[in-house]
Structure 1
Amino acid sequence: MDAKSTAVIVGWFLVTVLQRCMCGRKYYYRVENLDNREVTEVPFQTYTSTSDVGHCARLCRQQDCVYLRHDGDVCSLYDVLIYVGLSPAPSAIYYRTCPTRLGFVFAESTNLCFKLRTETKTWDESQNTCAGDGGRLVVLDTDDKYNYVKNYIINVSATGTSTVWVGMKKSTTIGPFRWLTGSTYTTKWDAGEPDYVSFQNCVYLYRNDLSDTECLDQRRSVCEIILQ
């Protein structure tokens, strides 16, 4: 499938979802173009009479699937992350959804999925755990995301002011601190932070502000999955 055809299908998909699935349109923002790849996972449910991708999206949301595929009139729902091999396969486009069955919540204001992990781990262990769910430690590089995550932690946790790892660290003793996206933007450092102690290379959120500390500390964490 050439780039023009793919663009037409993606555009048609977005229009269809807006028209037919307004209640959950932002659950299906990420488009995975896996043309000419063999998907190694088996769908947990397949429907053979779905005339459009909007219908398939509604079925996906009702059953909380992680990926959906619509090809012709066949709708395939997956409850695992999609991985691919190298063998050619019929053209199809897969749509990533918010995996609420894994404990993630959908934040419409930020178009992201978030999850507070209550187990305590080091920064690297926490990042690896988030990656295993198809995400990363949360990146608070906008005021909207910062405010949402702060309130989210307070609302879902009995110990809402406890510290949680976020996706920011420095790679050298003098910095700068960077989010996992490479951005350095933040206006939310705690008073006197960051203090640039040579062994304090990772960042956590405490109450309303960010602080730097040792990466081997054991803390809870917040993961995010990007849908767009």
Structure 2
Amino acid sequence: MDNRLGFLLVCLIVRTTANMCRLNERRHYYWLSTFDNMAMTTPSSIAEFTKKTKETCAQACNDNSSCALFSINSIRGECRLLPAFFPAPILSPLPGVRFFYRGSEECPYYKGYIALDNPPGCYSTRWVKKNWTDAKTDCEGDGGHLVVLEDMAIRMRLLNALQYFPNATEGVFIGLDDIAVEGEYVWADSRVLVNSFWAPDQPANSTDENCMTVFTDGLHDERCELAMYYVCQIDI
């Protein structure tokens, strides 16, 4: 099995309830059981607490706009809040640690989609490299599209997550291209790029670099036939 979030999910019926956590009726936290007690990369947490239960840790995640996953040690009551677009495999070195991620009835959680607010949407980082066209087809097969980053909040979440990639030079394909008309950048939802965030010396404006990617330094244009990781989005 590869290590990407979407394919490693084993979503059981174990979940916190809306009443217990005062959550939105459609929001649940699903158990990422495959990540339990695996020796993998340590994530960077948003916040850490002690003396929490699964329910109170879920509430803390729900109350933090940057949180999309949390871990809870049932033995010690240690709660860690983790960011959206979580990019790296998780280290759970202690017995009793379990990971949960935010889902909703609108998001296909069994495919690794995390539910985010502001703006609302479902997002999944794909950990199998594909060329831009195949990545686009994969996202559309889920009823979505490659991620749109016109919104500042979503853009900053992804840029922040990229710094935790196992290889800091890795980027991801996004839903932006100038395939139809050179130099006219159009998002997957048909909007034109307005809030640009080009990296230094970008775009190269080469006629064979028509598919956009995001690295830690910003937006790049790349060849569509390159194989890269990518992020899918489903609008809700």
TM-score range, shorter chain: 0.5 to 0.7
Alignment partner of 1:132 out of 141, 150, 174: 141
Alignment partner of 2:207 out of 198, 210, 216: 198
Alignment partners' CA distance in 1, 2:26 and 2:119: 10
C-alpha deviation, 1:97, in angstroms? 1.1
**Greater Cα radius of gyration, structure 1 or 2:** 1
Match of 2:156 in 1: 147
Residue 189 in structure 1 maps to residue 195 in structure 2: no
Match of 2:24 in 1: 24
Aligned residues: 143
C-alpha deviation, 1:109, in angstroms? 3.2
RMSD: 2.6
The 5 A counterparts of 1:74-223 are: 97-154=106-163, 157-159=165-167, 161-172=169-180, 174-183=182-191, 184-223=193-232
Read off the aligned partner of 2:23 and give its amino acid letter.
C
Contact 1:166 1:203 in 2 (8 A): yes
Read off the aligned partner of 1:132 and give its amino acid letter.
G
Contact 2:159 2:218 in 1 (8 A): no
| Structure number with higher helix proportion | 1
Alignment partners' CA distance in 2, 1:145 and 1:169: 18
Q: Which blocks of at least 5 consecutive residues in structure 2 are unaligned?
A: 1-17, 29-103
Tell me the SS of whatever aligns to 2:133: helix
- TM-score of the superposed pair, with normalisation by structure 1: 0.55
Task: String of CA shifts for 1:15-55, please: whole Å, max 9, x gaps.
Answer: xxx99x95134659xxxxxxxxxxxxxxxxxxxxxxxxxxx
- Using the aligned pairs only, state the percent identity: 23
C-alpha deviation, 1:130, in angstroms? 0.7
Q: Which blocks of at least 5 consecutive residues in structure 1 are unaligned?
A: 1-17, 29-94
Tell me the SS of whatever aligns to 2:23: helix
Task: String of CA shifts for 1:36-90, please: whole Å, max 9, x gaps.
Answer: xxxxxxxxxxxxxxxxxxxxxxxxxxxxxxxxxxxxxxxxxxxxxxxxxxxxxxx
Alignment partners' CA distance in 1, 2:133 and 2:117: 28
Read off the aligned partner of 1:206 and give its amino acid letter.
F
